[in-house]
Structure 1
């Protein structure tokens, strides 16, 4: 089994990462991609990918998980999508008027979405969620937003103000975002009671990797929004095309007023979407007598490459069943990792948990507490043995061989993990532990 030590296996990647820090704040364009999320000296800078494998600047090959922050469900360089994109390249990318392709893409995307009458395409998830918030405020005439206590919804002030990393967001804006607990209808009802007639919308993920809705919860949220005059917004960035086709609203049978899409709908190509009921969406159009909403006006929102990729992804989901493959591969991975953990006496410390298509792993210290140092050690040893992962989120491109290699790598990592529990982690961990991506200070992984 491979051993890519920090002193020998990541020389070019480390040099490139230093140069990235000179030119790009944080050394990456997404905080979750930062080298502070990886062991020191072991943050691969990637050069290509195919299927579920990626290669870095040093020529190392890894089985990758997370797959473009959960955006690549069909695999890197998925040929049918690339073929469709190549066919459109010679026809031009961006024009001064809409194209027929925009109509066809809208028809394709809306077809499996009962209750969604209109769509607006954009480039990233924050475009869609922030557009939904603005629409909801205009439609209801209210200012406050009720946000479920889930990890991330947007890079805009309305959400970032509620994070620890909120420098630059006015205090007045921070006060407009309210939090409620998942699977706790009472906490949401309390917000409505405390702020009567002031909440424009409730925005949430219908489910997460670790949290399924309890019986009646989503239905209760839907009923409460209707009763109190607020819009229900589902964030389908992760659940869309991963929980089911098209998404969680279909899987759980609860219809939102607005829904936000991204990630898997382009299989890595930059595209997001906002869908919703006609009477709400038309506030951003020309068929309304009400004050118009400035809604997702984007130079590149409808460029032909990403819309073509979207249509090709939809065809792939119609012709195959990527969700079923992801569920199967995820179950095999979880079974293998958890079986190895039990055999090594580490089941209380390391585990693959969550929905099979969206697995994460736990890393706990000798006292059974979640541990960043032990997470870093586990990442370090997985990297040594050819697995690149911040999670165990699979794609439909992961093969049984990929899963087998990963289980073997996890077993090897757990052998070191067990020794670290017994002898202390200091002997085994190279460098400082990883740190939360959205912390308020660069320390403890400040770059010198």
Structure 2
């Protein structure tokens, strides 16, 4: 028989090393340790280790350390749950004008849309967000110039629609966020909406300003508002085969509109219209099946329309409006004068012409005492120089127009430090013939 003795730790003192003594059969060559003896040995060792661990846990310093760990863990978890997380991507902000309406869409991938409006202290701002399709439950939020919360609303409009009316505390740019009710997984409604913005009060814009208020174009739904160099996304399909957008511009602005397909098999078409819904597009281009481009020179300061449609297919597209230059229309017989300064050594004019027209233009320095040295250039819409001329006081050029469309006539002072007056003049003959009645270019 073998005996095994296990020495337990001293109940009074905690030794640095726990000794376990085993007596019995020694595993020498030729001697096999019985299975029962091996099992008893393991049991004895485990029991001794458990006794050591139990005694260690019951020490005062362990209990204090464990309590500190519990408090620290609870504080860390609470902090992680209450600290707001920054947004992954900032929402784009689209400018909107008072007195206008804009259409939008709320979905799981795009749960909010933001717009900006400039206003003055004392203005009364009225916002209405009405659901137009789906099960959308509209929610409106208004932020101030420093991104502070001004107001928010869920159901003050008709039914579940949202509405805000508030007096603005100070001047600046306010941001309107159109979204849906609920947060996180609780926000499930989707659909399209119409946002209407109205301003009244001390900050009412001068009614004599043609850009102060967007006119009623008589379209349903109302056109969306776009600004120069701010891309706008939309879609066309069998249910919505065309869309209208409005933008404001100055007389003489040379405007380019690009409509580019971003998904689907949409073959886009685009044109620029005046308030009477008549096309003022001077030329159009389609470099590839998924992109359409239109150009126009704005005849007067005010609001204009962009009509986006398709020749076939359906899909999403981006619309981009760009002012290539702020110019003036040059007309035959019109007395045009100007002045070159150090800050303005270039002047631009725009005109329309037909293929084959012969264009003659000159630029004359009217002040003989100045050191203005004129140069004149004829450009196409790609800003490529077609012809140019220079002289000490008088610059002239002649060129047959290669294709019908809009062209640019630019005058330069090649001595930019000089200051002095100038007089541009242009003539055009249809078909490049001889003495024929001149007409506006």
What's the TM-score bracket when you normalise by the shorter of the two chains? under 0.3
The structure having more radius of gyration, on CA atoms, is 2
When normalised by structure 2's length, the TM-score is: 0.21
Q: Which structure: greater strand fraction?
A: 2
Q: Which structure: greater helix fraction?
A: 1
When normalised by structure 1's length, the TM-score is: 0.21
- RCO greater where, 1 or 2, for CA within 8 Å and sep 6 or more? 1
